[in-house]
Amino acid sequence: MIWTRATRIRILGRMNVHTYDTKDIIYALATAWGTAPIAVIRISGQGCVEALKPLFSRPEALGASASHTVLHGDLIDPKYKNPIDEVLVTVFRDGRGYTGEESVEISCHGSIPGIESIFAQLKDVGMRPASPGEFTFRAFMHGRMDLTRAEAVMEIVSSQSRLSHSLALGRLEGNLFSLIEEIKQQVLQVVSMVELQLDYAEDEIADDVAFPFEALEEAKRRIDALLSTYEMGKLYGEGARVVLAGATNAGKSTLFNLLLREERSIVSEVHGTTRDFIESKTVLDGIPVRLYDTAGLRESSDAIEMEGIRRTRKLLSEADLILLMLDGTEHDDTSVSQYRHLLEDPRCILVWNKTDLTTKPPAKGSYPLSAKRGEGFATLRDEMVRRLTKETDRPDGQALVIESSRQRDELKHASDALVRAVALAREELPMDIVAVELAEALHALGSLTGEVASDDILERIFSRFCVGK
């Protein structure tokens, strides 16, 4: 087999296979896809400045530009010499760009047809659209970032709320890396002490060296503290699923619209208005939420409606939080019991709607609401947040929180190994046995920052990339 200068690299993800060719010049939109005043297109790869010259109104200036300079000009269609867009081009010479390669950023106007025609031109000069995560992949490959930072980029790109965005930014700034580095140093000190003992005979160094239990337990505490942020990190990162369920005509769609602050779902006095579920995204106190309005639960012979009810059941099984809505005018404490199986579910909140129509007392433990007037809505919202965060405090934007399951697994691994090391040392097993567990903990911490390389790390990380960053 002959090696060409171009290196084709394929990451075998569990599900998807990306083929990355590090020789190619790649491009992608770095800003959100949609209409906006300004959009930024990022181009990376050796020779990309040269390749862009025929598309730029000032090719000589572009070719001669130093790193980190900004040029003003037009992007042109080389066939007809007509300008496509007025742009600013920022040049990063070899080794200086985000990816560590020669790269260019084009700030253009943010209209979708405009961007698409620029893409068409870029393709014509031999560039290709980036695969998911390819920019970060290149940056990692060129040593521009360690793994915790690479993961943070992916989390920033996919973050769905401002809070999760700023948490990921903290990781990008290397906070996570430095914390783990600190913990690792702590463990390393113990390891060196233990290994030093392994190198001397008992007549040279006596056994009277005290085992540093305290240092190991401290390291474990710090790891565990970080671990405990995972649920939080996941909540703010990946978000939660909230499902509105209940009898027909209870006012689910009305509450749905209220939570979204828009008329998204059809509201009517007809029972069974919502036939299939409707999904929409919103943010609840920093938590990205996927909200589902569902078909009301009732006996029905209508095939479509039955399918809708079946889907509702499926959604319920996957929900993080269920709002069971009942029409307060039709129910009392005893009739509520038909929903027993849902009410016993810890994820369920009972919402007692249409309080404006009745003076009957709401069922025990329910949240009274008038979805039409908004009375009781604030209390309900607070309860939803409380339930989702499991009553822990909302992290501030500066807190260090992990949200990747890979990081959680490595931390767990490290913590378990330290527990075993401490237990073995307490049983007074010899140091060479204890050292195995310490090595295991160090390995896990090293894998976390990517300083220990192994074949499965890359696979786990780069299989969930998205385009652009």
Partner 1 sequence: MDYDAIVIGAGHAGIEASLALSRLGFSTLLITQNLDAIGRLSCNPAIGGLAKGNLVREVDALGGEMGHLIDASMIQFRILNRRRGPAVQAPRAQADKFTYHRMAKETLEAQGKLALFQDTVVDILLGEDNSKIIGVSTERGHRITATVVVLTTGTFMEGKIFIGEYEARSGRLGESAAIGLGTALRQKGFTVGRLKTGTPARVRKSSLDFSAMVEQPGDPVMMPFSFDYQTIDRPSLQCHITWTNAETHRIIRENIHRSPLYGGKIVGKGPRYCPSIEDKVVRFPERERHQIFVEPEGVGTEEMYLNGMSSSLPEDVQVAFIRSIRGLEHAQIMRPAYAVEYDYLDPLQLYPSLESKHVKNLFIAGQTNGTSGYEEAACQGLVAGINAARKLAGEPPLILDRSESYTGVLIDDLVTKGTKEPYRMFTSRAEYRLNMRHDSADQRLTPKAHAVGLQPDEAMARLQEKLSRIEMVKDLLEKRKVEGRKAIELLRKPEIGIADLMESVPELASFEEPVCYQAELDVKYAGYVKRQERQVDRFSRMERIRIPEDFDYDALDGLSAESREKFKAVRPLSVGQAGRISGVRTSDLAILMVLLARRTDHDDEA
What is the contact surface with ligand GTP in residues (CB under 6 A)? 248-254, 267-269, 271-274, 296, 353-354, 356-357, 370-372
CB atoms within 10 A of CB 196: 12
274 lies in the site for Mg ion, by CB under 5 A: yes
In the complex, least distance from residue 45 CB atom to Mg ion, rounded to whole angstroms: 51
Q: Does 280 bind Mg ion (CB under 5 A)?
A: no
Measured CA distances, 238 to 232, 261, 462 (Å): 10, 22, 17
By beta-carbon proximity to ligand GTP, the closer residue of 329 and 454 is 329
Binding mask 225-264 for Mg ion (x = CB under 5 A): ----------------------------x-----------
Q: Tell me the closest approach of the beta carbon of residue 190 to partner 1, in angstroms.
A: 13
CB 353 → ligand GTP: shortest distance, Å? 5
Q: Minimum Å distance from CB 341 to ligand GTP? A: 19
Of 115 and 250, the one with the shorter C-beta distance to ligand GTP is: 250
Residue 77 C-beta: closest distance to ligand GTP, Å: 52
Contact partner at residue 1 from Mg ion, partner 1, ligand GTP, none, CB < 5 to 8 Å by partner kind: partner 1
Nearer to ligand GTP, 269 or 456 (CB): 269
For partner 1, which is the closer residue by CB, 370 or 404? 404
Residues found near partner 1 in the complex (CB under 8 A): 1, 3-12, 22-23, 46, 138, 140-143, 146-147, 195-196, 198-204, 207, 424, 427-433, 436-437, 439-440, 443, 450-455, 458
Residue 43 or residue 431: which is nearer to partner 1 going by CB? 431
Biggest CA-to-CA distance, the chain? 91
* Beta pairing partners, 38: 109
Give min distance, CB of 293 to ligand GTP, in A.
7
- CB nearer to ligand GTP: give 272 or 446: 272
Q: Which does 458 bind (CB under 5 to 8 A by kind): ligand GTP, Mg ion, partner 1, none?
A: partner 1
371 binds, among Mg ion, ligand GTP, partner 1, none (CB under 5 to 8 A by kind): ligand GTP
Q: Which is nearer to Mg ion, 253 or 407 (CB)?
A: 253
Order of strands, sheet of 367-368, starting from the edge strand that comes earlier in the sequence: 278-284, 287-293, 240-246, 321-327, 348-353, 367-368
Give the nearer residue to ligand GTP in terms of CB position, either 69 or 358: 358
Q: Select from ligand GTP, Mg ion, partner 1, none the partner in contact with residue 141, using the beta carbon and a kind-dependent cut-off of 5 to 8 Å.
A: partner 1
Pick 253 or 366: Cβ nearer ligand GTP: 253
CB of 253 to Mg ion, least distance (A): 3
Q: Which of 381, 420 has the CB closer to ligand GTP?
A: 381
The least CB distance from residue 246 to Mg ion, in Å, is 10
Report, in Å, the least distance between residue 286 CB and partner 1: 34
CB of 273 vs ligand GTP, minimal distance in Å: 4
Q: Quick one: three-class SS letters along the chain? A: CCCCCCCEEEEECCCCEEEEECCCCEEEECCCCCCEEEEEEEEECCCHHHHHHHHECCHHHHHHCCCCEEEEEEEEECCCCEEEEEEEEEEECCCCCCCCCCEEEEEEEECHHHHHHHHHHHHHCCCEECCCCHHHHHHHHCCCCCHHHHHHHHHHHCCCCHHHHHHHHHHHCCHHHHHHHHHHHHHHHHHHHHHHHHCCCCCCCCCCCCCCHHHHHHHHHHHHHHHCHHHHHHHHHHCEEEEEEECCCCCHHHHHHHHHCCCCCCCCCCCCCCCCCEEEEEEECCEEEEEEECCCCCCCCCHHHHHHHHHHHHHHHHCCEEEEEEECCCCCCCHHHHHHHHHCCCCEEEEEECHHHCCCCCCCCCEECECCCCECHHHHHHHHHHHHCCCCCCCCCCCCCCCCHHHHHHHHHHHHHHHHHHHHHHCCCCHHHHHHHHHHHHHHHHHHHCCCCCHHHHHHHHCCCCCCC
**Pick from Mg ion, ligand GTP, partner 1, none: which does 409 bind, CB < 5 to 8 A by kind?**
none
Instruction: Judge residue 89's burial from the number of C-beta atoms within 10 Å of its C-beta, 0-12 exposed, 13-18 middle, 19 or more buried.
Output: buried
Closer to ligand GTP at the Cβ: 133 or 296?
296
Calculate the alpha carbon distances from 86 to 20, 60, 107, 235 in Å.
Answer: 31, 17, 9, 42
Q: Is 358 in the site for Mg ion (CB under 5 A)?
A: no
- Tell the smallest beta-carbon distance from residue 268 to Mg ion (Å): 8
Q: How many residues bind Mg ion (CB under 5 A)?
A: 3
Site residues (vs Mg ion, CB under 5 A): 253, 273-274
